[in-house]
Amino acid sequence: MIKVDQRKKRLFLHAGFVVLLAFFCTGIQAQTAAVNPFPPTPNPDRIVLNVTGDPSTSIAVNWRTCDTVREGFLEIMPVTADPRAVDKASRKQAKSEAFKFEDIAANYHSVTVSGLRPKTLYMYRVGQGAHWSEWFHTRTAGKSGDKLSFIYLGDVQAGIKTLWPRVIRDAYAKMPDANLILYAGDIVNRGNSDLEWGELFYGGSFIHSTIPGMHSPGNHEYARTGDTLSAFWRPQFTLPENGPEGLKETCYFTDVQGMRFISINSYRVEESDKDLQKQKVWVDSLLRNNPNPWTAVVFHHPFYSIRPTRDNVRMRSTFKPLFDKYKVDIVLQGHDHAYARGMQKIEGATKDEKSGAVYILSVSGPKMSSKFEGNWMDVSASYTQLFQLVTVEGNTLHYKSYTAAGELYDAFDLVKQKGKPNKLVEQKPNNK
């Protein structure tokens, strides 16, 4: 009887120790998570597909691992339903770079695959050894004249893990076959915050890995004291290096199915005369030598503001004459944390003739502005999270802006007219 009681006592003490150890370990994990809820591990994370100079024949992929994983690979092949066929996927070794910033130590890996077939659905995965991602599907772009679809998002910046994910997920649900996603700057609030970038990739999840992203920087992608671009920007994105010297991967362009997309670094325009001039010359050349029937430009600081304390004169006076001269079609912006769109008079015109370009600013995150001014707006909204879906078919651009509740808020068609400015046909809901 005594032996049995002693055994029970030992079992009780052992169980207590296990509970205490579990509690201690849980506490340590909670403490670690509070410091960094998105630590790098041997498994690939933050997998992002980027636009390339020719999205019809190439893809560019970036991902992250812990610093002990010093190499990575991408495997790719045309999509097949036969799971045995993955053994035949082509493999390409990544460029792997050590990354150390503050208390973050990781390796970033990047691969650009060229020589792909246009308008073809591919499957790919990334990783090495026993640590691989799932297989993702992505489609290469087609030729000029094919139907084009893309998503446009204004500032994310706040509520990145809480209120923003519903926006990108609803946009994806409504347009899963988008050719690309455009971000108009202030993607995070603090450009050097690993936490906020982690929240962004958490919020967008696999969407970042399946639709190429066209990321344009805002002022919050720069250090608040100085002119230094986010330490995370170039390691985690591989964007076209076809922009001006010193501004590559923030200024760049890509041609997709008959539309030229141009990213301007508006922060550097506002901050530097030298960078303003570089971009002016570069944009003039891109617009002058544009073989595409359509042109979209994305940047952060809007030509026309809704905020009484803001007026981005340098951006407007530098680039609007070029946009008018070369007949840019749509200008996508952020910064003001609200929604507005309108058309403007042609620069220097003797009569009140609109240029045919539509100027839009939008916001996808929950940080909002309440002050409005300006007679340039045909449609506006405050305290409303939105996302925009755009399709181009032939001579018509179809534009729709939806709220985070999935309701259509604004819509129009932009129709090309030979020898005349574009014609805007309102399609917005009757109550707007």
Q: What is the pTM of this model?
A: 0.90
149 band by pLDDT with thresholds 50, 70 and 90: very high
Q: What angle do the packed helices 165-174 and 194-204 form, to 10 degrees?
A: 30
Distance (Å, rounded) from C-alpha 331 to C-alpha 162? Answer: 29
Residue 14 has pLDDT above 50, yes or no: no
Mean pLDDT of the chain: 90
Identify whether the C-beta of residue 90 lies closer than 8 Å to the C-beta of residue 77. Answer: yes
The residues near 268 (Cβ < 8 Å, ≥ 6 apart) are 227, 247, 250, 275, 276, 279
DSSP letter for each residue of 154-184:
-B-BSSTTTTSHHHHHHHHHH-TT-SEEEEE
Q: What is the pLDDT of residues 251-267, one digit of tens each?
A: 999 999 999 999 999 99
Residue 131: the pLDDT is: 98
Three-class secondary structure assignment of 34-58? HHCCCCCCCCCEEEEEECCCCCCCC
Query: For residue 124, what are the β-bridge partners?
Result: 76, 136
pLDDT at 349: 64
Containing 322, the helix (H) or strand (E) segment is helix 313-326
- pLDDT tens, residue by residue, 312-333: 999 999 999 999 999 999 999 9
Alpha helices by DSSP H, 78-237: 165-174, 194-204, 207-210, 233-236
Q: For 354-397, what is each residue's pLDDT tens digit?
A: 788 999 999 999 999 876 777 888 999 999 999 999 999 999 99
Q: With the CA atoms of 277, 281, 287 and 290 taken in that order, what torsion angle do they form, in degrees rounded to the nearest 10?
A: -140
Q: Residue 5 contacts by C-beta under 8 Å, 6 or more apart in sequence?
A: none
How far is the CA of 191 from the CAs of 140, 227, 232, 278, 399, in angstroms?
30, 12, 8, 24, 30
Question: What would the two tokens of residue 5 be?
Answer: 């009681």
Length of the chain: 432
Type of residue at 412:
F
Q: Which DSSP string corresponds to 143-157?
A: -TTS-EEEEEE-B-B
Longest CA span, the chain: 108
Check pLDDT > 80 for residue 159.
yes
pLDDT the model gives residue 352? 67
Say how far apart CA 47 and CA 212 lie, in whole Å.
Answer: 11
Residue 112 φ/ψ, nearest 5 degrees: -115, 125
List for the chain the helix, strand, coil content (%; round to 5).
25, 35, 40
What are the beta bridge partners of residue 183? 153, 215
pLDDT band, very low/low/confident/very high, at 28 (cuts 50, 70, 90): very low
Identify the three-state secondary structure at position 303: coil
Pick from 17-31, 235-249, 264-278, 414-428: least confident = 17-31
For residue 109, the Cα-to-chain-centroid distance in whole angstroms is: 19
Q: What is the pLDDT of residue 12?
A: 47
Read off the pLDDT of residues 279-316 as tens digits, 9 standing for 90 and up.
999 999 999 999 999 999 999 999 998 877 788 999 99
pLDDT at residue 224, rounded to an integer: 72
What count of other Cβ atoms lies within 10 Å of the Cβ of residue 129? Answer: 10
Q: Are β-strands 213-216 and 180-184 bridged in parallel, bridged antiparallel, or unpaired?
A: parallel
Over residues 335-347, mean pLDDT: 89
| Model pLDDT, residue 32 | 43
Distances 424 to 51, 200, 389, 417, 431 between C-alpha atoms, Å = 29, 35, 17, 11, 19
pLDDT of residue 34: 55
Could you give the 3-state DSSP secondary structure of residue 97? strand
Gyration radius from the chain CA atoms: 24
CA distance 339 to 386: 8
The predicted structure's pLDDT at residue 20: 39
Q: CA-CA distance, 404 to 154, in Å (whole number)? A: 13
Can you spell out the DSSP letters for 344-413? EEPTT-SS--EEEEEEEE-B-SS--------S--SEEESS--EEEEEEEETTEEEEEEEETTS-EEEEEE
Looking at residue 85, the DSSP 8-state letter turns out to be G
Give the model's pLDDT for residue 13.
Answer: 47
Q: How far is CA 2 from CA 7, 10, 15, 162, in A?
A: 9, 12, 20, 58
